[in-house]
Structure 1
Amino acid sequence: MSGTKLMHDGHDETSDTVGEQAFRRIRSDIISGELKPGQKLKLERLKSQYGVSVSTLREILNRLTTEDLVIAEGQRGFEVSPASVDNLREVGDLRLVLENHALALSFASGDLDWEADVVAAHHKLSSIERALLAGDKNRTFEWIKYDFAFHHSLIAACGSKSLLAIHQSIFDRFMRYHLLAASFRGDGVSHDHRELFDFALARDVAGAQAKLAAHIHAGIDHILSTGKL
């Protein structure tokens, strides 16, 4: 997946400062696995790679420690947070708590425009999943982007920008493990998404929450089955 960038939120980098662009690039490279778990983050090397000063890099890496994507080692510098089974399960649990709460709020408040966005997001995701199921393994990274877009659409009407922002951070940390596994789960994940879509249009909160729990736990089991952790 070298060279790929995790840009799943429609953000336009042209409006960012150089430092903000570097922050987004480094964050994306950690999530995508280009910067590997446990990798030492040498400031001089990063300075030339991302085109920012050492002081800016320190600010960026300290920001990333708040998302648990980077570990600060005191005088020894920084490293990419390691990947572990325990952390995967913890992140999965956090995602489930946040997303379940946001689903209930969103289903209660979503209007016709929200429904249209859910339909569009599911259509795009299901198209990518059909390609993957047909054997196009090069679409795995693209699937990550549309997977987030679909799950985000389900909770977009929750009415809380803070909840959406925290959910995105946790979702990205969860997807980091999928990208490390570099493996698509197959028919099961596609069926899960179709059921979540149906529950959303029916405003069935209990059904969606139960399906989401099964969906996340199946994702964890799949990641572990690849033996990449």
Structure 2
Amino acid sequence: MEHRTEEEQVAALKQWWKDNGNSLIIGVGLALALVFGWKMYQQNVENTKSAASALYQQLLEVALEPTATEETASSIEFIASKLKSEYEDTEYATFSALFLAKNAVGKKDLEGAEVELRWILANNPDSSLAPLVKGRLARVLDRQGKQEEAFALLDAKNAGTYAAIYLEIKGDIYHRAGDLENAKASYVEAYKAMKQAGVQRPMLTLKMADLGLTEEGA
């Protein structure tokens, strides 16, 4: 009876394996594929970050050379473009575009600067640097006479810690346009926001003083 029970158990096991073996093998295979796939993905992410970091380090080394030449400028353009094209999802690509935008402004190439800044917002809209980029883009647009586009970027109500900076930039735009009343109002709001946040910006105080405003009156 015991022997027959063992035989029955073996037969039942064989039947179970016949019914479920293939699905079990497939399930184990999928599990292993997911584990190894995830590990490969993580390794690829790390390799990408390391490669992008090394390339950005090269960019900084070239940019910080004491004597700037045409060859230096070409190297900067090449490395930055490579970072943007091959590592566009990394912060290093964002840093490179910011670098190129700054250089473009230095060369008075405002259209080129706008292109770089818009590239960041289009490719990395969730970057922690996006609010900073919007502020810089607003200044570039203002210099091109695109004040309405600039103001559209400066939504201080939803800017979080950048609210005061956005208000100051608005004041600068109004001031450049000769709209002193709105400039004063924006500077005062910027000052209040900064005071509430517990930060100081001496330059803002100077701008206010230039328009006859005092910290006490703000």
Structures share fold, TM-score greater than 0.5: no
> Higher relative contact order at CA 8 Å, sep ≥6: structure 1 or structure 2?
1
Query: TM-score, normalising length from structure 1?
Result: 0.24
Query: TM-score, normalising length from structure 2?
Result: 0.25
Larger-Rg structure: 2
